[in-house]
Structure 1
């Protein structure tokens, strides 16, 4: 089966809204602003200011506005970047699965851990991808479908389970957990386990009997 786009391609696909790759210095500044915005929004919610973001990124306000003319454009960029990270978790799970069928298990746990730590993008696009996110969303769903097909063929999940079922279970549960900021990491892990049990994953493939290989931080998983 042909694999989905590489993780590098996923991140490159959101380099610029019109598809053009930015110059290296411009891309570096843009990446710094997006990372800073994620931190500031995470700390202060939507009350975080451009001044705070520019200071955290080590750039001027003009540099921020050059890449993101409006506040909404910056919020969408942050959400799209996080959406791409979910796809990257799926790609890493797929690579490590190597046809065994356990990649879907790793993806679900990795996605739930990421969502627990990075709820902001769920709040920003309210469960519906924007036009800017659509390409990343489509690629992510394609990889999830491949993981589902592999798991179904290996007998890891029930034969009637589809990728739509997986997406509905994961997105619905994540959205519910994200709207309650009192939930803990244990709540998210417990919910991921219940999602997989609902899909028919046998107990021996679930923690604590098996430690999922997908990591919260994709950069760690690359190591």
Structure 2
């Protein structure tokens, strides 16, 4: 009986390990598919095919459908992931700023850089956003509001500037980048400088005098 109980315990252990392995593989494949879909959608808009995504991810079409039974489910997963990335850009800017107030500048340039390359989430958000998308977007807005408060307290922007002012500016430019491929990096960087100066940001805190972080392309730092 002891032996049988031990054998059963070993089998349960193996089954548990297999389950963890399968779950781990499933998560890895899901991440590969989402990343590949982000690239394909950025290149081709929502016309990108499952075949293209599977090839880019290095998995089969069956694997794609296993994680995302419908095309819409995949698009929403990509959009939610992109919202999370915008929030990550804001959080990284906030951490580097450490109360100096320059985090808002870092966020603006980092977010626009990202928005120019990745458009899908804005297309979807203008339609029927899911609760998950709204939750991530709301978290991002809270962090941007904190960056605005910090910049105001540090004297980096004018005292009367509100987080709604910043959101209006960021939202408008993000939509432009999402819908007009003709807008170049030099275009949005020039407009971003003008608007930030209008909000009170000192010229010395703007690129190229201060290159915020790795989201900026060093080759155009002096544009």
- TM class by smaller structure: 0.7 to 0.9
Partner of 1:131: 131
Q: Using CA pairs below 8 Å that are at least 6 residues apart, which structure has the higher relative contact order?
A: 1
Task: For 1:214 and 1:86, locate their aligned partners in 2 and report how far apart those are by CA, in whole Å.
Answer: 14
Partner of 1:161: 161
Task: For 1:38 and 1:44, locate their aligned partners in 2 and report how far apart those are by CA, in whole Å.
Answer: 10
| 8 Å CA contact 1:107, 1:214 repeated in 2 | no
Secondary structure, in 3 states, of the residue corresponding to 2:208? coil
Could you tell me how far 1:133 is from its partner in structure 2? 0.7
| 8 Å CA contact 2:105, 2:212 repeated in 1 | yes
Structure 1 residues 85 and 124, CA gap change in structure 2 (3 angstroms): same
TM-score, normalized by length of structure 2? 0.81
Gaps (5+ residues) in structure 2? Answer: 1-21, 218-223
Structure 1 residues 145 and 192, CA gap change in structure 2 (3 angstroms): same
| 8 Å CA contact 1:110, 1:216 repeated in 2 | yes
Secondary structure, in 3 states, of the residue corresponding to 1:36? helix
Report Cα offsets for 1:76-132 as digits up to 9, x if no partner: 111111111111111111111111111101111111111112123222323874322
Task: For 1:166 and 1:62, locate their aligned partners in 2 and report how far apart those are by CA, in whole Å.
Answer: 44
Structure 1 residues 167 and 74, CA gap change in structure 2 (3 angstroms): same
Partner of 1:150: 150
Count of aligned pairs between the two proteins: 196
Could you tell me how far 1:136 is from its partner in structure 2? 1.0
Higher Cα Rg: structure 1 or 2? Answer: 2
Partner of 2:119: 119
